[in-house]
Amino acid sequence: MLRVMTARLKSYFNAESFCVVGASTTPNKPGNVVAYNFVNYFPGKTYLVNPRGGELFGKPLYKSVLEIKDQIDAACIIVPAKYAPMTLEQCGQKGIRNVIVTTGGFSEAGEEGLELQKQMLEIMKKYQINVVGPNCLGLYSPALGYDTMFLPASKLKRPTSGPVSIFTQSGAFGAAFIDQLSRLGSGKWVSKFVSYGNASDINETDALEYVGKDPDTRMILIYLEDFKDGRRFMEKAREISLTKPIMGIKANRTETGAKAGASHTAALSSDDEIVDDLLDDAGVIRVITWDQLEDCVLAFGTQPLPLGDRVAIVTDGGGAGVMASDMVSDCKLSLAEFSPESQKKMDEIFPSFYATGNPIDITGSATAEDYRIALEAAYNDPNVDSVVNICIPVIPDLDIHKYIEITKEIAKRKEKPFVTSLVGGEEADFAAAELLKEDIPVFTSPGRAVRALGMLTDYTKYLKSRGVDPRKVMVEEGK
């Protein structure tokens, strides 16, 4: 297949006419959901195809793409695998160059499926068709009204438009993560979503190349199990990570160990260690667990990058402060030493039993006003690069509503990363929900909050090591 120089996914997302092949009249069937999505949200022209003909959502059902007179820029094929080659052939004859095949039952499903995928490849070559899939959710962009995710909106909630582009090998991961993002904070997160499934044609590297160039994508989140084009992926990632953060999961870490070889080098070449080092070298922030991915979105999607690694911790509980401090060193961060001015201010105002070092422990006697004084002292201090705001709201004199207001005020300044951890029960949950509504990052444990700062700071360190000013990379501005 010809590798055209422009990112191939661009012609999918830029399509002005779209055809749903396999539009179903049965509610909630995949072909019905995708037809609904395009008829209702896609600003371009939508055509629906179903061999039985008739009408759906007020649009005629063409019996075949070949019956349609107008030009079609992109299509989604949602038919059983055995009919897919014939359908693709017709798309080729019609001159459709960009096709998404969401159906499963191909190379992932044994001999027969593999044979079907081979047939598809022949047809792709013959007509020079680009294919996303098969066996995937396809593409989603809320701003473009582009949605081939065949799960009904009553089940899979859609996040709205924002700075994050996501690409994933696993459709199920994609569906779950999209659903999660829909209820994270304001839900305004997604720019482009690409689920490429079996990657018979368009693969992880094509997706990376596209979102790397896409001006609406401010950060890139990935889920991979293997590489189809690993070398080019690393080369592209190295370029792109200088302007947008790339982060995500490369799962399948234990599948293969080092293969026996004749050299020490071969004996030391475990697949995952190589992947880990190359991702690191390419500036990709690798996380291991699912919860870290959501933390990534919250941290990178809402906060400016820190300019250094010096963290200030404000807490009303000693234990939480100690655990946060431990995580500071685990994440290769450092505890800030306050400037004499901030130190003096706190020492003058606070009672002597408050600890005004770092962590600043305003104890179980803390009021919301104490939080204001401590948080402002830390936030305004030039020796502090980022601030952790820990609150265990069970203490008697703390007005939680005031605390929420104070936290919001500081969070809105966005001069440096500011993360909050609310630990406890009902009141903690209430405060967390209030803050998250405005996309103020709140984490369920102090460790998670600090770890989020660790990821931001790792990226700052990487940019600095490559001679890039971290202030030039602005993700949250896109929100």
Partner 1 sequence: MSTINDIILKGRNENRDALLEHEAKEVLKKMGIQIPPSILAQTEEEAVDAAESFGYPVVMKLMSSEVLHKTDEKAVMIDLNSAEDVRSVYQDFENRFKHVNVAGVLVEKMVDKGLELIIGTNTDDDFGPVILFGVGGVLVEAIKDVVFRMCPTTEEQALNAISEIKASVILDGFRGLPVINRNELAKLIVNISKLAWEYKDDILEMDINPVIANSAGLHPVDARIILK
| Contact residues: partner 1, CB under 8 A | 226-227, 230-231, 234, 261-269, 271, 273-275, 277-278, 280-281, 465-466
Choice between 26 and 263, CB closer to partner 1: 263
Choice between 346 and 455, CB closer to partner 1: 455
User: CA dist 336 to 266, 421, 445, 469, Å?
Assistant: 43, 19, 21, 21
* 29 φ/ψ angles, rounded to the nearest 5 degrees: -70, 150
CB of 247 vs partner 1, minimal distance in Å: 19
CA-to-CA distance for 426 and 143, rounded, in angstroms?
Answer: 36
Choice between 236 and 345, CB closer to partner 1: 236
CB of 466 vs partner 1, minimal distance in Å: 8
Choice between 189 and 227, CB closer to partner 1: 227
CA-to-CA distance for 24 and 38, rounded, in angstroms?
Answer: 13
CB of 230 vs partner 1, minimal distance in Å: 3
CA-to-CA distance for 184 and 459, rounded, in angstroms?
Answer: 23
CB of 217 vs partner 1, minimal distance in Å: 25
Report H helices in 29-83.
30-41
CB of 265 vs partner 1, minimal distance in Å: 3
CB of 246 vs partner 1, minimal distance in Å: 16
How many residues appear in the chain? 479
Choice between 271 and 399, CB closer to partner 1: 271
Rounded-to-5 percentages of helix, strand, coil across the chain: 40, 20, 40
Choice between 286 and 372, CB closer to partner 1: 286
The answer to whether 78 and 113 are in contact (CB under 8 A) is no
The answer to whether 361 and 355 are in contact (CB under 8 A) is yes
CA geometry: angle 216, 129, 90, nearest 5 deg:
125
> Up-side HSE of residue 423: CA atoms within 13 Å toward CB?
19
CB of 277 vs partner 1, minimal distance in Å: 4
The answer to whether 426 and 388 are in contact (CB under 8 A) is no
Query: How would you classify the pairing of strands 138-141 and 246-250?
Result: unpaired
CA-to-CA distance for 103 and 174, rounded, in angstroms?
Answer: 15
> Up-side HSE of residue 83: CA atoms within 13 Å toward CB?
12
Q: Pseudo-torsion of CA 194, 161, 40, 24, nearest 10°?
A: 30
CB of 460 vs partner 1, minimal distance in Å: 15
Choice between 46 and 241, CB closer to partner 1: 241
Choice between 269 and 380, CB closer to partner 1: 269
Choice between 274 and 433, CB closer to partner 1: 274
User: What contacts 281, CB < 8 A, 6 or more positions away?
Assistant: 234, 238
- What is the spatial order of strands in the sheet that 98-101 belongs to? 55-56, 59-62, 45-49, 17-21, 74-77, 98-101, 130-132
CB of 279 vs partner 1, minimal distance in Å: 11
CB of 58 vs partner 1, minimal distance in Å: 48
CB of 332 vs partner 1, minimal distance in Å: 12
* 122 φ/ψ angles, rounded to the nearest 5 degrees: -60, -45
> Up-side HSE of residue 183: CA atoms within 13 Å toward CB?
8
Q: Say which amino acid occupies 88.
A: L
Choice between 251 and 395, CB closer to partner 1: 251
Choice between 80 and 261, CB closer to partner 1: 261
CB of 269 vs partner 1, minimal distance in Å: 5
Choice between 44 and 230, CB closer to partner 1: 230
Query: Is the bond leading into 80 cis (omega within 30 degrees of zero)?
Result: no
CA-to-CA distance for 83 and 61, rounded, in angstroms?
Answer: 18
